[in-house]
């Protein structure tokens, strides 16, 4: 039950931090910096590996794994509360800690997705991305990347074709409705 002791000790630090008597903002900032350091290292590793489907993989990584469009928001959740900590009232510090926790959870999700990309079945993630893809420019780029890749195993090629067929049918239906 050592983890119970650690949780109780952490809660004491949080309580003291909310009351303005501790180094809680520095601790929280240190955790955010550690996360960013890990995230940068992971991003370098992901983007430096050889990719079969160059454009598709880049889009999957940016839009589906890292969620680059939302990353700035996640950083706001983690840094913004710490900027105003010293001038905050004790009850607003609780909201600031909740905001920080939300940001850390979202950044943890990015790291978990990155791990699955590096160690898992990339095809499953590629298929998921292609099924959800709505942007026509990204769609054209991603599908060009798929069809220009050689030596795709038969099962994966069938799945690509199935998704492509479904996407084309959906686009045709949307055109007919207009």
The gap between the terminal CA atoms of the chain, to the nearest Å, is: 63
> What confidence score (pLDDT) does residue 14 get?
64
* Total structural domains within the chain: 1
pLDDT in tens, 94-128: 888 999 999 999 999 999 999 988 888 889 989 99
Q: Domain range spanning residue 63?
A: 2-177
> What confidence score (pLDDT) does residue 16 get?
62
Helix boundaries (H) for the chain: 2-18, 24-48, 54-59, 68-83, 90-119, 122-132, 136-148, 154-177
pTM of the full structure: 0.76
Whether 32 contacts 101, CB under 8 Å: no
> What confidence score (pLDDT) does residue 170 get?
86
Question: If you count them, how many residues does the chain have?
Answer: 178
Q: Please identify every stretch of the chain with a pLDDT value under 50, giving residue numbers as ranges.
A: none
Q: Which two tokens stand for residue 177?
A: 């409705």
| Residue 20 to residue 80: CA distance in whole angstroms | 17
């Amino acid at each position: 039950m050592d983890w119970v002791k650690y949780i109780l000790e952490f809660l004491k630090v949080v309580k003291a931090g909310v009351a303005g008597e501790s180094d809680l903002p520095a601790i929280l900032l240190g955790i955010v910096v550690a996360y960013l350091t890990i995230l940068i290292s992971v991003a370098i590793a992901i983007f430096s590996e050889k990719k079969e489907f160059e454009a598709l993989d880049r889009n999957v990584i940016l839009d589906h794994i890292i969620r680059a469009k939302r990353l700035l928001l996640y950083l706001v959740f983690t840094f913004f509360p710490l900027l105003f900590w010293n001038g905050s009232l004790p009850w607003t510090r609780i909201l600031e800690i909740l905001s920080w926790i939300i940001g850390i959870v979202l950044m943890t999700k990015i790291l978990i997705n990155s791990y699955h990309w590096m160690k898992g079945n990339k095809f499953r993630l590629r298929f998921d991305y292609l099924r959800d893809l709505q942007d026509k420019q990204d769609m054209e780029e991603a599908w060009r990347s798929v069809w220009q890749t050689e030596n795709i195993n038969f099962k994966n090629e069938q799945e690509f074709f199935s998704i492509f067929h479904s996407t084309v049918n959906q686009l045709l239906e949307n055109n007919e409705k207009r």
